[in-house]
Amino acid sequence: MHDPAGAMPPNGSIGDLLYQRYRDRDIALPPTAGDTLGVLLAHRSVRAYTSEPLPPGTLETLIAAAQSASSSSNLQAWSVVAVEDAAHKSRLAELAGNQTHIAKAPLFLVWLVDLSRLALMASARGEPSAGLDYLESFLMGAVDASLAAQNAVIALEAMGLGVVYIGAVRNKPREIAAELGLPPQVFALFGLCVGHPDPGKPAHIKPRLPQEAVLFRERYGRAAAERTAIDTYNQRLRAFQREEGLTAQDWSTQASDRVRDAKALNGRDVLRAVLNDLGFPLK
């Protein structure tokens, strides 16, 4: 890159990449990240944190990672609310199934599908934005927000921090929207607790389905091997649960319970109507 003043960080360094992303030198540098694949494979949800505050620059770093994710047509149809105030976190914890880790984490992020920026921009130009009224636009925002959040998760885990997603912010979406002051066309998709993992309550890597169950080649097809793969997984997950001191229960049982009926959705069965009220016609 052209740098007449010679003030640029070395080409390809994290500082250089951050500069290229923002064309701004005033961005906090992240602590060194380890091997990417190692970080991905080492993921485990962390629900117990120490009281240690997050390193300076953590929020700016995770946002830079999030904004570095791909975005549908570069519309960047997402935003995030960072919550650090203790009383505010407690109220959100209460609304999200009384999950105490939300209140205990030093940082709680709420990732948003945000179509309001696009609507406002179009309206400022005196143009319509009726395309935002379609399910496709909501989905696009949800995909963009998810990719952004997962990029942030990888950056945070690379920095040695622990996270857990919180889908329960969708249990009471109207109350969450009011608590966060969300305008129409903005929806809280999921939360994310961030903190230093408590070494006294370590989380371990949770096994996943064997690849035969999720990977098809050329065409989708229910392989005869899939039944065996699920049986194998049930055994492996039970072993993991026993190691963790949890009640052992087949994945098949857990998953069936979770999809049994509307009641199993913890209030989220009315989401379509709520979304309509929050400014998403979902045509």
Contacts with ligand FMN by CB under 6 A lie at 43-45, 47, 99, 164-168, 190, 206
Q: Decide whether 160 or 184 has the Cβ nearer to ligand FMN.
A: 160
Closest contact distance (angstroms) between CB of 101 and ligand FMN is 7
List the structure tokens of 56: 């300076």
Task: Please give the biggest Cα pair distance in the chain.
Answer: 64
Q: Decide whether 132 or 173 has the Cβ nearer to ligand FMN.
A: 173
Closest contact distance (angstroms) between CB of 193 and ligand FMN is 9
Interatomic CA distance for residues 23 and 18, integer angstroms: 8
Q: Decide whether 78 or 165 has the Cβ nearer to ligand FMN.
A: 165
Closest contact distance (angstroms) between CB of 207 and ligand FMN is 9
Q: Decide whether 18 or 96 has the Cβ nearer to ligand FMN.
A: 96
For residue 163, the surrounding DSSP H or E stretch is strand 162-166
Closest contact distance (angstroms) between CB of 228 and ligand FMN is 22
Q: Label the pairing between strands 78-83 and 186-195.
A: unpaired
Q: Decide whether 45 or 252 has the Cβ nearer to ligand FMN.
A: 45
Q: Are 109 and 192 in contact (CB under 8 A)?
A: yes
The string of DSSP letters for 193-249 reads: EEE-B-TTS---PPP---HHHH--SSS----THHHHHHHHHHHHHHHHHHHTTPPP-
Closest contact distance (angstroms) between CB of 206 and ligand FMN is 4
